[in-house]
Structure formats: structure tokens, C-alpha cells
Chains A and B, each alone.
Chain A
Amino acid sequence: MLSRSAACLYWMGRYMERAENLSRIIEVGFRLSQIPEWEGSGPAKIEWKSSAVAAACAEGLLAKHGEANLESVIAYIALDENNPSSIYSCFKAARTNGRTVRTALTSDMWECLNDTWLEFNSRWLETLNQDNLWEFLDWVKIRTNLFRGAILGTMLRDNSFAFTNIGTFIERADNTARILDVKYHILLPPGEQLGGALDYTQWVTLLRSVTALGSYHWVYRDSIKPWNVAELLILKEQLPRSLVYCVSRIERDLLSLNEHDGQRHDCHRLAGKMYSQLNFAKIDDVFQNGLHEFLNEFLTQNELLDNAISNNYHFYS
């Protein structure tokens, strides 16, 4: 397979996954901003800033709009053409990458990418505001779910499939870690009680944002406890957005590439190492050493893995 094609598939997977996560992050902000206890419970309302931080575009948003609020988040994270991490840019980049490797996509996949982009432009670009924000966020979720369905339901299980998935899961792992980190460090205002009502609502919102509230109850049959939420999102392989699930998928897809040529690269070693660390970790140890530190270390490792994959498969030769 052409290296350039592999890179395009990888990035197509990443961008579609990012678009989905951006909408989830905005959803968290939107839900949090509606929590009544939040009023007067801290300096400025920071739930929108936390969204911007989770989306890794706080700096750009503040530079352009001054403050993070509903309007600026919609303008910058959903619609901004100049923000490379906006939903707009993600859909556009996913389509451009897909178009470059159309030969590797099934027609269902391509039509989903193309329709999404066309509909974004004709339906949302000019009209999106706070009144139809829910509808929009649902739409993004439907489109990305549809795309994933097209991949799972129609794509040959070959290298194209593997590279698309690897990109998807690298991105998802990154996003899950960020979402979790935001809750832990940014959201609880000084003076608020850990485990208080506000804290509780925030954890619930976070679980909802990754569509894992129901799963939480099935797994723990317990009220919402921070360490359980963290464990679910980091160490429970049943949960398809957990870090350990993402890394297990990356490792498996990397190995499937390996079957053809028997080559073992740095990325295989790194993914294997990350997987066994997560697989054997206990949530107590994670908290002992600091959740934030753990997540930061994970994000660094994930980025190294991304670099290794790019180098080993000659993405930029």
C-alpha cells in the first residue's frame, strides 16, 4: 500500500473521531452550563473554558474571542475555518483525505464523508446558534456513527482498514484522556467539596459525554464514585472509549499489518508496552501517583506512538 494512502486513511480516521469528540466536549460544556448549583459557585463561569481546554484549543479561542462562552465556543470550536481543530476543519480534512484515497474507501464510506461535508456547509455553517445546538450535536454524532458503521459494515479487512482504525483509536485515546483530565483538574472550583453535589453532577455529565452512564451502572451497580469513573475510562477494556480498549485495538491492528511482511517496528514495541502497562495497572496506584500525572504521561506516550507509526510506515517520506 502506498505510504501516502496509509497516511491519508490514518488521518481520515483521526479527523472523523475528533469531530465526534469535539461535539461530545461541547455537549459537556452545554450540560454543565445548565447545572443550577453552578451559579455563584466560583469566580467566573469556567465550564466553557474547560471545554476549550479539553478540545485543546483554549489558547486560540481566548486570543480570538477574549472569553470562552456559548457563542465563542460555537464560533471557534464548531465553525471556525481557521481553527484546524474545529468540527468544520475536521470534516473538511477528513473528506479531503478520503478523497485523496477514494480508491481505498468503499462507496458507502465515501458517500458518508461527502454528504456530511455537503450538509455541514448547506445546513449548519450559516445557521448554527444556541437554539439549534442540541440538534447540531446530535447530527454530528449521527454522522460519525454512520461513518463508523460504514467502515465496520463494508470495508475489506485489509491494511486500509487497519490504518483507518489505528488513526481512530489514537485520536480517541487522546480525547478520552483529555476529557478525564479536564474534570480532575479544572472543573471543581476552589472551596467546593470533593464528592459534593456539584462534583457528583460533573462526573455524571462526564460519563454522559462519552455515552457511558448506562455502562457505568452495568459495570459497578453503585452510585457514581470518581475512582470508579476513572477506572472505567482508563482500565476497563469492555468500554470502547477507555484508554486500555483503544490501545488494545491499536496493538491488534498494528499486528495485522505485521502479518503481511513480518516486520516489527518501534511502534509495535511501544504499543505492546503501553497495553501491558494499562492491562496490569490498578486504579489505586493511578490515584496514588496522581491522576493528572498519569494522564499527562499517557498523552506523551500516545504522541510518541503516533510519531513511531508515521516513521515506521514512511508517512512523510
Chain B
Amino acid sequence: MLGPNGDPRQGMERLAEWMLQAPRDLLTARQAEAKVLFRRIGITFAVYGEGGDPERLIPFDIVPRVLRTKEWEFLSKGIKQRVKALNMFIHDVYHNGEILAAGKIPERLVLHNKAYLPIMRGVSVAGDVYSHIAGIDLVRTGPNDFYVLEDNTRTPSGVSYMLQNREVMMRLFPDLFSSHRVAPIERYTDDLRESLKSVAPKNCEGDPTVVVMSPGLYNSAYYEHSFLADKMGVELVEGQDLFVLDNTVYMRTTYGPKRVDVIYRRIDDAFLDPLSFRADSTLGLPGLMNVYRTGGVTIANAVGSGIADDKAIYMYVPEMIRFYLGEEPILKNVPTYWCDNKDDCKYVLEHLDELVVKEVAGSGGYGMLVGPKATPQERKDYALRIKSDPSEFIAQPTLALSTTPTYVNDGYAPRHVDLRPYVLVGADKIRLVPGGLTRVALQQGSLVVNSSQGGGTKDTWVIGDKHA
């Protein structure tokens, strides 16, 4: 919100002024009110088996994070370019493997990757779309510098927070919305439904039947699953509600079987079909893969799409953009070292105090080392882990992340943030609502924004340079 010299950035003067003038007790009251609203609506993040409250609230900060329309247009162009290339990449590695043949990406990195599923080789999916719903994590380091931190191409979560944060903000600060032209995001769920309908299987007759498939009540993101199904007006199903007959997927309804055309699944590949993957899983639907492979049903995101969001593959996304689209990448990658390369590994081990090291297969902020914050002993222990299996680790420099004002302990303080816009890739077009989920590291100085690690969220505003 503030520029390098401490003054409000262009277009944000009025908000900054409002923030400084608003009485503290009002803000504190609103912050408390937000908490009550979230608890009441039941917007929770379930963490079972760790003790404590199994239905936790994700802390919500009342100060919006603001982007200007111009910045957003730039970002959205870059994001669309990126997901287009990622989808072409997934299609390519399950078909002709041209990018591998051209030597642009090491073959073993793809073909021996755990996220690469041979069962998907040569399978054609509707519209050649693999990652229908993608979340691109971005950070900002300067007025015009955005970096992509991570691509999420399998089941990115958090979009319900993006929508509910806006809802809650509008309830708490109606006057702010009337004095700022904040780009609306409410059409996301309509976009999602249209996008999913656009990838219905070829032999689908009439209006496609779309469902959201969830592992059920005890999944951490269950709230989101039910939220999305509700807002799209489609059924929220579990594996037990579905069955396969004559190479077609049906759901069990009170009127008997009903055919299902598009499944927006929020279940990992491994649990989708016990006949093809984990036999011990009861979450999925036996026989689903067979119907899928023969084109009788669409699964979003596509099975095997995880190959594109692997942390090692990430390094090659700019290369993909050049290879498939013949364009220069609009968004920058964070320089990344992969310990499988001898030189990289040596550099990483020598500079552990400057780098963030992550497990290639890890997620959610678990198992990472934030070098500058770690103790010498922690770095030493981590070095041993890297040495024992170098190919499992990547490292990135700690960027000079920008901060946004955040309301903590009855006052404003700068906190690090990232941004996850959600992109919808249909067979017809790519859809994107302005903004995304801003995650904020609530601990002073912390760089970790994951909700599982105590991070919070805030509303994200894209506003025009001129006020309403």
C-alpha cells in the first residue's frame, strides 16, 4: 500500500487516510466481529488428530491488500500465459513428449516423477484441458516486480476464503466499498460452473451434470467443497454416492440413478479409484478410471495433472512458455537450485543461511528450512537430510518480500504477504476474477503464510486508479 518512500501509492491515498483516521476501538471491534462471523458461518479449516479445536478459524485481517487495475492486468496476462503453457506441457508429456525429445526438460525429471502417472499415457481428455482450476502463488518484491513462487495445478484450495473474505469485508466496512471502486469477484462460482460445463465429455447429451466430489466431512477443506457445490447449484458427492454401470458414472438419487458428466474432484489421485490406485481406499469410486480413460466422464483437475506443479518442474516453466507458445514469460520465476545438480547442491550447502530449502514433494509449508531464521544446529541437521537424498530438495533465495499493513494488537504493522489468484481453464476460454487470496504471515518477520503454519488471510482489492 505504501511506496518505497513511505507515502501511499497512487490510488491508495483515500484508503490510507481512512485507515489512519479510523478510531482504534472501532477497528478492534470490527476485527472481533469478523471472528464471530466466520465462526458462525462455519468457515473453518479442519485439523483433526492434532489436538485442540478440530475446527479452526483462519485468522482474518481487516486491512485489505490493494492492487491497482494496471498491475492486475499485467498479472492476469502473465497468469493466463503460464497456465496455457502448463496445460500444453501436461498434454505433451502424456502424449508425444516433444519437450523432452527437444531436450528442454530432463526426461528423468518427468518420467520418473511420482506425480507422473503412466496410466494417463495416450488418454485424450475433453478439450485437452488438464488443469482446469489452477492457483498461481505470487510474491512481490518491488513496485513492478512480481515473482511466481509456485504453481498449483491439482486441487488448489482457498478460493472460498477469497469469496467469503469479501463478503465479510462488505458487511464490516460498507462505507469503504462505497468510496472505492473495488472490482467484483462474485462471479467466480458462475465462471467455475461454465468452465466445468465446457469440458463435458463428447457423448454427453443435453445439459452436462456437474458434481463436486469430496472425501467428506472430515477433510480439512470440506467447508470449501460444500461452499462451491452450493454456489454452483450442483450436488456435493462422496465416493459412496457414485457407481459405475455400463462404462458410465451414475449417482444414487432418491429417484434412482442419474448420469454424471463432469466431476470436480477434491480427492487426490491416489484415492480416486481403488481398482487403479490405492486398493485400501474407500473414498473413491471403483471403476472410475476405466470410464475416464474411455472418455465417458471428465475429471477436473485431470488425473496426473500434478506433474506440472512439482517443485523441480517449476524451474522449467519459463522454458515451457518459450517452447509451446514462442513467447517470453511475462512473470518471473524465483531463481531455484535443484540439489540433484552437483553444482547447485554445493552452492545450497554452502549458503544454507541465505536460502529457503523445500522438499520437492512437500506442501503446506511443512518440512522446509528457512535458512536465515534457522539455528546453526537446524541447518546442520537439514544439510544431512539434503546429502542423503539431494534430488528431493530445491532451494531459493529469500526475496526481499514486500509487506502490507496489517492490524495486529490494536495497531498497524507491516507483514509479509503472498497472493494466490485462481484461474479457470475451460475448453472455450480462460477465466479469471480480479484478485485472489492474499495470505499473510502474522508473526513479525515471518515469511511463512500457510494456514497450517499460523498464517492468516485478507481481502484482496483490485481498484481503479481513479476513485468512483
Name A's B-contacting residues (CB within 8 A). Answer: 1-6, 96, 99-103, 107, 110-111, 114-115, 118, 159, 163, 257, 260-261, 263, 313-314, 317
Q: Tell me the minimal C-beta distance from B172 to chain A in angstroms.
A: 17
- A103 B252 Cβ-Cβ under 8 A: no
Interface SS majority for chain B: mixed
- A1 B217 Cβ-Cβ under 8 A: no
A-B contact count (CB 8 A): 63
B429 surroundings in chain A (CB, below 8 A): none
- A5 B235 Cβ-Cβ under 8 A: yes
A287–B236 Cα distance when bound, in Å, is 50
Interchain CB contact (< 8 A) of B237 among A2, A110, A313, A317: A2
| Identity of the chain B residue whose Cβ is nearest the Cβ of A115 in the assembled complex | B40
Interchain CB contact (< 8 A) of B252 among A2, A96, A101: A2
A257 surroundings in chain B (CB, below 8 A): 254
Does B230 lie at the interface of the complex (its beta carbon under 8 Å from any beta carbon of A)? yes
- B40 A114 Cβ-Cβ under 8 A: yes
Q: Which 5 A-B pairs rank lowest in CB-CB distance, beginning with the nearest?
A: A103-B230, A102-B226, A313-B254, A3-B252, A261-B255
Fill in one digit per residue for B223-236: 1 if any A CB lies within 8 Å of its CB, else 0: 00011011000011
- B241 A114 Cβ-Cβ under 8 A: no
A107 surroundings in chain B (CB, below 8 A): 41
B235 surroundings in chain A (CB, below 8 A): 1-2, 5, 103
A198–B256 Cα distance when bound, in Å, is 55
- B252 A99 Cβ-Cβ under 8 A: no
A101 surroundings in chain B (CB, below 8 A): 236
- A314 B252 Cβ-Cβ under 8 A: yes
The number of chain B residues with a CB under 8 A from chain A is 23
Interface centre among B222, B226, B240 (most CB of A within 10 A): B226
- A2 B253 Cβ-Cβ under 8 A: yes
A256–B192 Cα distance when bound, in Å, is 32
Interface positions, chain B 31-83, Cβ under 8 Å from A, are 39-42
A314 surroundings in chain B (CB, below 8 A): 252-254, 256
| Identity of the chain A residue whose Cβ is nearest the Cβ of B235 in the assembled complex | A2
Name B's A-contacting residues (CB within 8 A). Answer: 39-42, 216-217, 222, 226-227, 229-230, 235-238, 240-241, 251-256
| Identity of the chain A residue whose Cβ is nearest the Cβ of B255 in the assembled complex | A261
| Identity of the chain B residue whose Cβ is nearest the Cβ of A98 in the assembled complex | B42
Interchain CB contact (< 8 A) of A1 among B222, B230, B254: B254
| Identity of the chain B residue whose Cβ is nearest the Cβ of A313 in the assembled complex | B254
Interface centre among A2, A5, A6, A111 (most CB of B within 10 A): A2
Q: Tell me the minimal C-beta distance from B47 to chain A in angstroms.
A: 16
- B42 A114 Cβ-Cβ under 8 A: yes
* Known contacts A3-B253, A261-B255, A313-B254; A103 and B217 CB within 8 A of each other: no
B252 surroundings in chain A (CB, below 8 A): 2-4, 314, 317
- B40 A1 Cβ-Cβ under 8 A: no
| Identity of the chain A residue whose Cβ is nearest the Cβ of B254 in the assembled complex | A313
B255 surroundings in chain A (CB, below 8 A): 1, 260-261, 263
Q: Tell me the minimal C-beta distance from B164 to chain A in angstroms.
A: 12
A36–B239 Cα distance when bound, in Å, is 59
6 more A-B residue pairs beyond the given contacts A99-B42, A114-B41, A261-B255, with a C-beta to C-beta distance below 8 A: A3-B252, A4-B238, A103-B226, A103-B235, A111-B41, A317-B252
B226 surroundings in chain A (CB, below 8 A): 99, 102-103
Q: Tell me the minimal C-beta distance from A300 to chain B in angstroms.
A: 25
B254 surroundings in chain A (CB, below 8 A): 1-3, 6, 159, 163, 257, 313-314
B42 surroundings in chain A (CB, below 8 A): 99, 102, 110-111, 114
B230 surroundings in chain A (CB, below 8 A): 102-103
A81–B423 Cα distance when bound, in Å, is 45
B236 surroundings in chain A (CB, below 8 A): 101-103
A2–B235 Cα distance when bound, in Å, is 7
- 20 contacts across the A-B interface (CB closer than 8 A): A1-B255, A2-B241, A2-B251, A4-B240, A4-B241, A96-B217, A99-B42, A99-B217, A99-B226, A102-B42, A102-B226, A103-B230, A110-B42, A111-B40, A114-B42, A118-B40, A257-B254, A314-B252, A314-B253, A317-B252
Q: Tell me the minimal C-beta distance from A165 to chain B in angstroms.
A: 15
| Identity of the chain B residue whose Cβ is nearest the Cβ of A107 in the assembled complex | B41
Q: Tell me the minimal C-beta distance from B82 to chain A in angstroms.
A: 32
